[in-house]
């Protein structure tokens, strides 16, 4: 008694000869019906052996439009079944590394020095701003007092310096804290 695959192969070959086109254009790839049937048989063997990738390649080959319809139909169905059995592959791209990658953007001692410097400069700026703000509030023009034009200009300049110094100090202190916390 003949094995089932040999019987199926004979049926595929016989049916493909009946269904195959009589002529093919010169620029088309000529696919022999026997080759399609051979790919189908090989695909089945590979599927049964658990070689999903090899079976998939064979099923793609026998699912071509040039293959006989009866072979192509079975290969397409088997392809869908094989894809359902295949484990899902997750693509994790490798992170590209530059030729000379630095160890860190800034070394820890450098960040520490930078952080403390910014913190000191910010504290100084905020202190100067606070000094000029106090000077503005203690001027003779404060509390709707009577003052000369020069006293008013001095108080206005002191107020502007106080606000600017205080804001710059806050920004520098914030930068220093960030540099110290991210080292």
Are 80 and 119 part of one and the same domain? no
Are 63 and 127 part of one and the same domain? no
Are 77 and 135 part of one and the same domain? no
Are 59 and 131 part of one and the same domain? no
Are 78 and 117 part of one and the same domain? no
More confident residue, 45 or 26: 45
| Per-residue pLDDT band at 110 (split at 50, 70, 90) | confident
Kindly tell me if the per-residue pLDDT of 69 is higher than 70: yes
Q: What is the DSSP letter of 93?
A: P
pLDDT at 42: 94
Are 76 and 112 part of one and the same domain? no
Kindly tell me if the per-residue pLDDT of 41 is higher than 90: yes
Report yes or no on 69 lying in a domain: yes
Kindly tell me if the per-residue pLDDT of 57 is higher than 70: yes
More confident residue, 179 or 87: 179
Q: How far apart are alpha carbons 23 and 71 in whole angstroms?
A: 19
Question: Residue 68 burial by CB count (10 A; 0-12/13-18/19+): exposed, middle or buried?
Answer: buried
pLDDT at 50: 84
Average pLDDT of the chain, as a whole number:
76
Report yes or no on 94 lying in a domain: no
Report yes or no on 24 lying in a domain: no
Are 55 and 119 part of one and the same domain? no
Kindly tell me if the per-residue pLDDT of 116 is higher than 80: yes
Are 42 and 114 part of one and the same domain? no
| Residue 146 lies in domain | 108-181
Q: How far apart are alpha carbons 180 and 115 in whole angstroms?
A: 5
Are 78 and 118 part of one and the same domain? no
Are 65 and 128 part of one and the same domain? no
Dihedrals phi, psi of 72, to nearest 5 degrees: -60, -40
Q: How far apart are alpha carbons 113 and 131 in whole angstroms?
A: 27
Q: How far apart are alpha carbons 86 and 78 in whole angstroms?
A: 12
Report yes or no on 131 lying in a domain: yes
Are 64 and 112 part of one and the same domain? no
| Per-residue pLDDT band at 115 (split at 50, 70, 90) | confident
Q: Tokens 């910014």 — which residue? A: 118
| Per-residue pLDDT band at 106 (split at 50, 70, 90) | low
Are 13 and 76 part of one and the same domain? yes
What distances in angstroms separate CA 61 from CA 14, 21, 43, 114, one per listed residue?
A: 19, 18, 9, 65
| Per-residue pLDDT band at 39 (split at 50, 70, 90) | very high
Report yes or no on 103 lying in a domain: no
pLDDT at 98: 60
Q: Tokens 């914030």 — which residue? A: 174
Report yes or no on 93 lying in a domain: no
Report yes or no on 146 lying in a domain: yes
Q: Tokens 């701003």 — which residue? A: 129
Report yes or no on 22 lying in a domain: no
Domains contained in the chain, number: 2
* Average pLDDT, integer, range 59-82: 89
Q: How far apart are alpha carbons 11 and 72 in whole angstroms?
A: 13
Q: How far apart are alpha carbons 5 and 131 in whole angstroms?
A: 97
Residues in the chain, total:
183
Chosen domain end from 85, 100, 117: 85
């Amino acid at each position: 008694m003949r094995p089932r695959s040999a019987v199926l192969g004979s049926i595929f070959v016989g049916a493909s000869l009946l269904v195959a086109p009589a002529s093919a254009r010169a620029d088309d790839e000529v696919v022999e019906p026997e080759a399609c049937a051979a790919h189908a048989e090989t695909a089945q063997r590979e599927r049964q052996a658990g070689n999903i990738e090899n079976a998939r390649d064979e099923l793609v080959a026998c699912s071509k439009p040039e293959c006989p319809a009866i072979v192509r139909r079975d290969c397409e169905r088997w392809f869908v079944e094989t894809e359902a059995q295949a484990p899902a592959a997750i693509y994790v791209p490798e992170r590209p590394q530059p030729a000379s990658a630095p160890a860190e953007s800034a070394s820890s001692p450098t960040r520490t020095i930078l952080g403390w410097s910014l913190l000191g400069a910010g504290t100084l700026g905020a202190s100067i701003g606070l000094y000029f703000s106090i000077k503005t509030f203690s001027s003779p023009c404060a509390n709707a007092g009577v003052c000369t034009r020069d006293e008013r200009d001095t108080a206005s300049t002191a107020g502007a310096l106080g606000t600017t110094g205080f804001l710059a100090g806050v920004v520098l202190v914030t930068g220093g804290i960030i540099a110290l916390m991210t080292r």
